[in-house]
Structure formats: C-alpha cells, structure tokens
Amino acid sequence: MTKSLAIFLAVLMLVSNLSITLGKHYCGGKAVKTAFSLGPHELGCGMATMDTPCKDFSQEQAVKRKRCCENKYLRISVENNYDPPANIKANISPEFISAFFSTYLSFYTSHEREQIQYLNYSPPLLSRDIPVLVQSFLI
C-alpha cells in the first residue's frame, strides 16, 4: 500500500510539472484528429496538398483564403510563481516559552514512582517433576 502510494505521488509530481499539449487537426473546417502530447507535433490527415487552399470558396471569400487543413494547439501547463516572504518576525513571549516547555516536559516525566508488584515474587514449588514423570528428556 505504501509503495503504491509513493509511486502514485511521484507520478503525480512528475505530471504536474510537465506541460501537456492538446492538438487538433481541422480538415475543411471539421475536426478530424485530436491528440495529447508533451509538445506541439505535426498532426496530418494524410493529404499531400495540406497547404493548398480549399476549392469551394465563393467570390466574397476570395479575400480571406484559408488553407484546406490547419492545426490548432492548446497548451496546458502549471506556473509556479511562489515568492516566499522576505522577513518573518515571530513575536514569542517568555511566558509562552515557559508554558510550552513545562507542558512538553510533563508528558515525558512521571511524578509518581510506581511500585513493581512482581519484583519479589517467587514461583511456587513443583509438586511433581513433570519431565521425569513423563520421561521426556531433552538431549
């Protein structure tokens, strides 16, 4: 359980520091292919004429000619801009320090001395010697 948790947390830290790119390939204005990657890479639909403009444009759209195929990328990344505070002043009074140490030490010290009940205890004498009676001897 602890090994799997450690592996999960290590993978989570690794993935959270990477930037992931979602790439979409549009062919003729429709999304054809979508892929996740660690950076932008070429997504193609297999057409050899990817750079040629589409042929179904009317005269109004002749000014704004689009390519027939295009790729769009969405980059997802984590930015850590943590600035630690420059000066932290702790206002600790001597009363707090004395109260803290007195309560801390009271957990680990015992004021009462406990009597050990079994210190002077001696076991009763045997009425029979069982190994001799059963004739079981350790050799």
Q: Per residue, what are the HEC states of 50-81? A: CCCECCCCCCHHHCCCCECEEEEEEEECCCCC
Residue 14 counted as domain residue: no
Residue 39 counted as domain residue: yes
Query: How much of the chain exceeds pLDDT 90, in percent?
Result: 10
β-strands 30-37, 69-76 pairing? unpaired
pLDDT at 119: 81
Residue 120 counted as domain residue: no
* Domain limits for position 51: 20-76
* Mean pLDDT of the residues in the chain: 78
How far apart are the C-alpha atoms of 32 and 30, rounded to whole Å?
Answer: 6
Mean pLDDT of 21-39: 85
Residue 108 counted as domain residue: no
Range in 14-18, 19-23, 103-107, 122-126 the model is least confident about: 14-18
How far apart are the C-alpha atoms of 105 and 45, rounded to whole Å?
Answer: 73
- Entry pTM: 0.39
Residue 25 counted as domain residue: yes
Mean pLDDT of 106-123: 77
Residue 35 counted as domain residue: yes
Q: Which amino acid is at 131?
A: P
Q: Total domain count for the chain?
A: 1
Mean pLDDT of 68-78: 83
Which of 114, 111, 138, 26 lies closest to 72, judged by CA?
26
Where does the pLDDT of residue 95 fall: very low under 50, low under 70, confident under 90, or very high at 90 and above? Answer: very high
Mean pLDDT of 108-120: 74
Residue 69 counted as domain residue: yes
Residue 99 counted as domain residue: no
